Amino acid sequence: MMPISLLAKLQEKRIIINIMVDATESPEPAQRRDKPNFLTQTRFDEFALPAEVLDGLKDTGFTFCTPIQAQVLPVSLTGRDVAGQAQTGTGKTAAFLVTIFNMLLALPQRRAELPSALIVAPTRELALQIYEEAQDLGRHTGLTFAQVLGGVDYRKQAAILRKGADIIICTPGRIIDYFKQGIFKTTGIKAVVVDEADRLLDLGFSKDMRYILRKLPHYEKRQSMLFSATLSYRVMELTYEYMNLPEFIAVAPEEVIVEGIEQSLFHVGNDMKLPLLLGLLKREAWSRILIFVNTKAGVTWLTRKLNGNALPAEGITGDLPQRKRFRLMEWFKNGRIKILVATDVASRGIHVENISHVINYDLPQDAENYIHRIGRTARAGKTGRALSLACEKYVFHLEPLVAMLGYKIPTIWPEDDWFIKDISTRVPGRRKGRGRRPSRQHGRRPKQIATAPGKTRAGSYPGGLFGFAPESKSAAKSEIQTTPDGPKKKKKRRRRTKKRPTPAVSAPDKTEGQSSP
C-alpha cells in the first residue's frame, strides 16, 4: 500500500501539472467550455432563436448546451411550463433567460411602463448574479432589466420601477412592498421564474411566494418556470397550485456534483482545526479559496486568525450591509480577494469560475448545503477540490450527508508535519460582562494604602482615581479616614424624605353638645 505522504505529494504534483498545462494552452472561452464530460452535443443554434439572442450567447462563449439546457429549452421554447430539478452551476439561469428573451422579442408590442417578466430569487447575491448574466446574454436584445433588492436605496429602485423595465429580478420582501404601494404592477406579466424554490421555502418565504403568485395573472395566461435543487413535497405543492401542468425535468445530482470535483475528508479535533487549515493552505496549490463556517461569530474569528497568520482574508455574513456584501463579492470575483470566509449565505449566488478550492471548516448542519457549497468550484467544466474538516462538534452531520450522496467521501489522515502553529496574537477587546474594569497604567496593579499595621485596603488610589487629585470637596471627603484603632467605618447615608404637610384641622368646640351663643 502506498504511504499517505507519498500519495499526497503525487496529488500535489498532478495539480501543479494541470495548472501549468492550462496556463500554457490558454484556450478560448468557447473551447474551454466545450468538454464532453460537461456539455452535450446539442448546440444553441439548433433552436429557432432570434439573431439577437444567438449573438449574446456567442459573445458570452456559449456554443453547446449543458444537460439541463438541452432538456429544458425544447419544452420551454414552446410556451409550456417547466419544473426543473438541477443543482447550482448547471446552466439553468441561461435556460430560463433564453426562454424569456425569445418570448418577449416575439411579442408584437410591449408597454414600457409595465414589466413583462418576473424572476424571483431567494438571496440578494443570487438575484445580483442573475441580473449580471441577463445583461451579458441580452446585450443585443434591447430589453431593459431592473433589480429590486432589500438593503439598496429604496427611492432609486422605486424610480426605476415607475420608469419601467421589461424584466424584473427581485427578492420577495422588497417586491411585495412596492406592489402594496402600487409602484409595481403585475397586469403585464407574461412569464415568471422561481429560482432555487427549495431555498426560498427554507428561508421562510412560503407565504410571500404564494402572495406574489396569487397577484400575478392566472397561470393559463402566463408561462411559469420553477427550478429547485430538490423537488420536495412543499415545492411540488407550489407547482400543482400555481403552474399549468408543468413538465418535470430532472438532472441526476451525481452527473453534476462528482464530475470534476475531488472530495476529501479530514477527521481532526476541534482544537487542531486551525493548525490543519493553515497547513492545507500551505500545501495545496490554490488560486482562490472559499471557506465555509456555520456561524457568524465563527466567520469573524476565523477571518481574524487568517489575517494574523499573514493570509489576507475577508468574511461575509448575512448581517453585513448590502453595499459591503456586494463590494466584497466583486473583489472576490476580480481577484482582489483570494480567500473568502462565509456562512451558507454564500453557498448559492456566487458565480466565480476560478475557485480552485472549497473548504468546509465546519461540516454543514443541512446535508443539502454540502452540495451547494462544493458546487462553487469546478464550474463551467473546470476541476476543483473540496476539503472538509470533521471535528467532534459537527461530525454527527456526516452520516446524513453520506446517506444523501450514496457513497463515502475519501478520508485522508494528516501527518504531524501538516499542522502549522497559529502565530496570530490575541486582539485586545472589551471585557465581557456588565461592568467595565478600570484600565491599569503601564500594566501595573494599583498601589494599596496601608490603613493600619498589618492591614491594607485594596483599590485605594493615592491622590484620587488614576493618580489625579480630587477636584471637589465631595471627592476629598470620600478619601479613607483612619484612626489609631483602624479604618473608620463609613456611615451609611439615610435617604432624606420630605415631610408631608399635615392637613389643616379645624379647632374643636370648647364643650361638646354646647351650642354657641
Reported as a single tens digit per residue, the pLDDT across 44-59 is: 999 999 999 999 999 9
Per DSSP, the residues of 360-379 read: ESS--SSHHHHHHHHTTSS-
Of the given ranges (37-46, 152-161, 179-188), which has the lowest mean pLDDT? Answer: 37-46
Domain identity same for 361 and 245: no
pLDDT of 1 > 60? The answer is no
Domain identity same for 307 and 394: yes
Mean pLDDT of the chain: 79
What is the structure's pLDDT at 32?
A: 34
Instruction: Specify if 330 maps to a domain.
Output: yes
Its domain, for residue 286, covers 260-418
Bridge partners of 385, per DSSP, are: 262, 357
Domain identity same for 354 and 247: no
Q: Is the model more confident about 83 or about 231?
A: 83
Domain identity same for 278 and 342: yes
**How many CB atoms lie under 10 A from the CB of residue 261?**
19
**DSSP-derived 3-state class of residue 135:** helix
Q: What is the pLDDT of residues 295-323, one digit of tens each?
A: 999 999 999 999 999 999 999 887 788 78
Band of the pLDDT at 386, cuts 50, 70, 90?
very high
Q: Is the model more confident about 157 or about 382?
A: 157
Instruction: Specify if 12 maps to a domain.
Output: no
Burial class (CB in 10 A: 0-12, 13-18, 19+), 216: middle
Tell me the mean pLDDT in the region 351-367: 88
pLDDT of 73 > 90? The answer is yes
Instruction: Specify if 456 maps to a domain.
Output: no
Q: Long-range pairs for 444-449 at CB < 8 Å and ≥24 separation?
A: 449/480
Q: What is the pLDDT of residues 457-481, one digit of tens each?
A: 444 434 443 344 444 444 444 444 5
What is the structure's pLDDT at 289?
A: 94
CATH code where residue 306 lies: 3.40.50.300
Of the given ranges (89-103, 161-175, 256-270), which has the lowest mean pLDDT? Answer: 256-270
% of the chain beyond a pLDDT of 90: 50
Domain identity same for 269 and 346: yes
- Find, among 157, 156, 89, 155, the residue nearest to 347 by Cα: 89
Q: How far apart are CA 440 and CA 477, in angstroms?
A: 24
Tell me the mean pLDDT in the region 405-415: 91
Domain identity same for 355 and 246: no
What is the structure's pLDDT at 252?
A: 64
Q: Which residue, of 220, 254, 288, is where some domain finishes?
A: 254
Instruction: Specify if 486 maps to a domain.
Output: no
pLDDT of 455 > 70? The answer is no
What is the structure's pLDDT at 222?
A: 96
Domain identity same for 268 and 192: no
Crossing angle of the two packed helices 172-180 and 154-163, in degrees rounded to 10: 70
Tell me the mean pLDDT in the region 239-257: 80
What is the structure's pLDDT at 232?
A: 83
Domain identity same for 122 and 208: yes
pLDDT of 484 > 60? The answer is no
What is the structure's pLDDT at 245?
A: 92
Q: Is the model more confident about 404 or about 94?
A: 94
Tell me the mean pLDDT in the region 168-184: 94
pLDDT of 508 > 60? The answer is no
What is the structure's pLDDT at 369?
A: 83
Q: How far apart are CA 438 and CA 450, in angstroms?
A: 21
At residue 456, what are phi and psi to the nearest 5 degrees?
Answer: -130, 160
Domain identity same for 45 and 178: yes
CB 246, CB 83: distance < 8 Å: yes
What is the structure's pLDDT at 372?
A: 79
Per DSSP, the residues of 294-344 read: SSHHHHHHHHHHHHHTT--EEEE-TTS-HHHHHHHHHHHHTTS-SEEEE-G
Of the given ranges (34-43, 89-98, 110-119), which has the lowest mean pLDDT? Answer: 34-43
Q: Is the model more confident about 110 or about 237?
A: 237
Band of the pLDDT at 491, cuts 50, 70, 90?
low
Band of the pLDDT at 28, cuts 50, 70, 90?
very low
Instruction: Specify if 477 maps to a domain.
Output: no
Do strands 384-390 and 357-360 pair parallel, antiparallel, or not at all (unpaired)?
Answer: parallel
Q: Which residue, of 418, 436, 466, is where some domain finishes?
A: 418
Domain identity same for 104 and 156: yes
What is the structure's pLDDT at 504?
A: 57
Band of the pLDDT at 86, cuts 50, 70, 90?
confident
pLDDT of 344 > 60? The answer is yes
pLDDT of 15 > 90? The answer is no
- Number of compact structural domains in the chain: 2
Q: Which residues contact 68 (CB under 8 A, 6 or more apart)?
A: 84, 86, 90, 91, 92, 95, 249, 251
Q: Is the model more confident about 509 or about 278?
A: 278
Domain identity same for 329 and 393: yes
Q: Which residue, of 254, 281, 303, is where some domain finishes?
A: 254
Instruction: Specify if 44 maps to a domain.
Output: yes
pLDDT of 151 > 90? The answer is no
Tell me the mean pLDDT in the region 256-274: 85
pLDDT of 219 > 90? The answer is yes
Tell me the mean pLDDT in the region 424-434: 54
Instruction: Specify if 493 maps to a domain.
Output: no
Band of the pLDDT at 371, cuts 50, 70, 90?
confident
Q: How far apart are CA 469 and CA 77, in angstroms?
A: 85
Instruction: Specify if 475 maps to a domain.
Output: no
Tell me the mean pLDDT in the region 386-404: 93
Q: Kindly state the greatest CA–CA separation across the chain.
A: 132
Band of the pLDDT at 12, cuts 50, 70, 90?
very low
What is the structure's pLDDT at 13?
A: 39
What is the structure's pLDDT at 501?
A: 63
Of the given ranges (208-212, 272-276, 324-328, 395-399), which has the lowest mean pLDDT? Answer: 324-328
Grid cell in block for residue 77: 421554447
Q: How far apart are CA 419 and CA 282, in angstroms?
A: 10
Tell me the mean pLDDT in the region 133-141: 94
pLDDT of 3 > 80? The answer is no
pLDDT of 414 > 60? The answer is yes
What is the structure's pLDDT at 111?
A: 81
What is the structure's pLDDT at 7?
A: 39
Q: Is the model more confident about 443 or about 145?
A: 145
Q: How far apart are CA 359 and CA 344, in angstroms?
A: 12
Q: Which residues contact 212 (CB under 8 A, 6 or more apart)?
A: 118, 120, 172, 175, 176, 179
Domain identity same for 296 and 379: yes
Bridge partners of 95, per DSSP, are: none
Band of the pLDDT at 10, cuts 50, 70, 90?
very low
